[in-house]
Amino acid sequence: MSIQIFGLSVSRGVAIGRAVRLGAGRLEVEHAFVTEADVPGELLRLRVARDEISAEITALRDDLPPDAPAELGALLEVHQMLLHDQVLIEAVKVWVRERHYNAEWALASQLDVLTQQFDEMDDPYLRERKMDLEQVVDRLVRRVRAGREVPPGAAPAPVDPVAAVQGAEPGEELILVAHDIGPADMMHFRRSVFRGFVTDVGGKTSHTAIVARSMDIPAVVGATEASALIRSDDLLVIDGDAGVVIVDPSPIVLEEYRYRQQHSRLDRDRLLRLRGTAAQTLDGVDISLHANIELPGDAATALAAGAAGIGLFRSEFLFMQRAGSLPGEEEQFQAYRSVCEAMGERPVTIRTIDIGADKPLERGSTDSRADRGLNPAMGLRAIRWSLAEPTMFLTQLRALLRASAHGRLRILVPMLMHVREALQVRQYLTQAQNELRAAGIPFDEAVPLGIMVEVPAAAIALDVLLPHADFVSIGTNDLIQYTLAVDRADEQVSDLYDPWHPAVLHLLQRTIALTHRAGKTASICGELAGDPQLTDLLLAMGLRQFSMHPSRLLPIKQQILRADCGKLEQALPDILSSSDPQATAQSLWRGATPLH
């Protein structure tokens, strides 16, 4: 029976595919397709792993001392039965043969199916056997994974996830369904086989939503109970425009969405024609469109999309998924240099590490205080964390300065709001410069240092901060969150997260105006920069530099090409003085045409 699950629209478009559930206590496995030629090797790994574990269980049972508890022997018998259970093993083989999943993924998928069946059992004893099943499958996954690490010739060659996905035979697209997906997980899935995301929790600017938009794939977050209602392998339709997930759609509905999916692809093809067009308004105002990136390799994507520079390189992603170890100076330098060299004469703005809030370091790092606070969003994060860790901060500053000799690098400081913080940053920057001079290492002596305006205090006190900054970048995601006291990742208050709120608009307009009056550049690197529904408003405020994910550059360029800054600016006073700015903007700029 077809059902609809409603959530928040965070990344537009249509995705159609089979569900892959990611439970809260999931097994950490590689999600990789294998080719038809690799199927026998995957099945062999599965059989070898099962036989080895079975032999170990038999040996343990035979070696039990006479006084061992009877329950222990019974437990081993249960594990042996589960290990050879045909419902488990044969179904896993089907996942491999028909879906071309690698063995670990096939095991995890079948475990998900069986655990749901256990949860629905009336008998408490049978329900508790779910834990035994999870233990058996976990051992199998670990053994299969270990089987990929044996010397060549002793077993089939390991699967390269990226190569496997690229070389896999065509099949149905897949949609990831989870309670939540953390930033580290999202980075892992960026190059995965998934073509859409559905989560129980999250808001429009939660990290899951941001990365889904950056991947330019449809996503719905805040779809409460989605992971409980959706089963593995259910056919799903994600309507990213309406924020709806349709489970097992009827043939008529499915055909309608396939048509919409094709129409969306045609629209994207038309946008590609704008790639070489200058971003200039109808009245001749030049606009600079920059790209936000997370990893050095993303620079190529930015260039392909026609970016005029990198407006935000989120350096913290170099520090994540490292099992507690931090990147050293040389590793950071190579990463920053590669981006500078890839961008040539185009400017590259690199933000110092912004750890904390929704991007904590993994437990076990050299200092995990950044994610220990009662309220991480307001605790030791961003520049506060860097200033509390001067050794780490100096290492990053030296790496950034060294890379500045290889391009037009600019350093951006996140969440700065006190003059004393600005002075401390300058002091550490001077120290890093002196250390490099003493070592005879070249760097840009005039490397620009900018501040991110992310909290209302910084926007209100900007006139006292500007003398200490060479440029300003507005982080609208946090600025809206802190101004409205709305957790941007909480779907329960997502309707209150409103970029059109008069307080937000006044802070944006004030920040842009004060920065320009000081003869410095202002840009926006938050999600607002990539939202075509707000482009006219930002142009009216005088914004001339936008930074967004590469996938948003062409839609924003299209909006800019249709705009007339002079006419837009004339309407700004009425919009800013309105109790309903969005409705006023609709009326003045687009007549009866809705913005949403």
Residue 135's SS3 state is helix
Residue 406 annotated to the active site: no
Find, among 495, 499, 583, the residue nearest to 541 by Cα.
499
**What gap in Å lies between CA 578 and CA 305, rounded to an integer?**
37
Two tokens, residue 519: 């003869």
Two tokens, residue 339: 């981006």
Two tokens, residue 235: 């056919």
Residue 418 annotated to the active site: no
CA 223 to chain centre: 18
The type of residue at 448 is P
Q: Which of 31, 79, 100, 207 is catalytic?
A: 207
Cβ atoms within 10 A of the Cβ of 325, count? 11
Find, among 129, 116, 145, the residue nearest to 27 by Cα.
145
Residue keyed to tokens 């294998």: 34
Question: Strands across the sheet with 3-6, in order?
Answer: 3-6, 244-247, 235-239, 14-22, 174-178, 194-199, 219-221, 8-11
End-to-end alpha-carbon separation of the chain, Å?
A: 31
Q: Which of 100, 525, 549, 565 is catalytic?
A: 525
175-205 exposure pattern, b = at least 16 Cβ within 10 A, e = fewer: bbbbbbbebbbbbbbeebbbbbbbbbbbbbb
Q: Could you tell me what percentage of the chain is helix, strand and coil, using 3-state DSSP and rounding each to the nearest 5?
A: 50, 15, 35
Q: Tell me the catalytic residues.
A: 207, 525
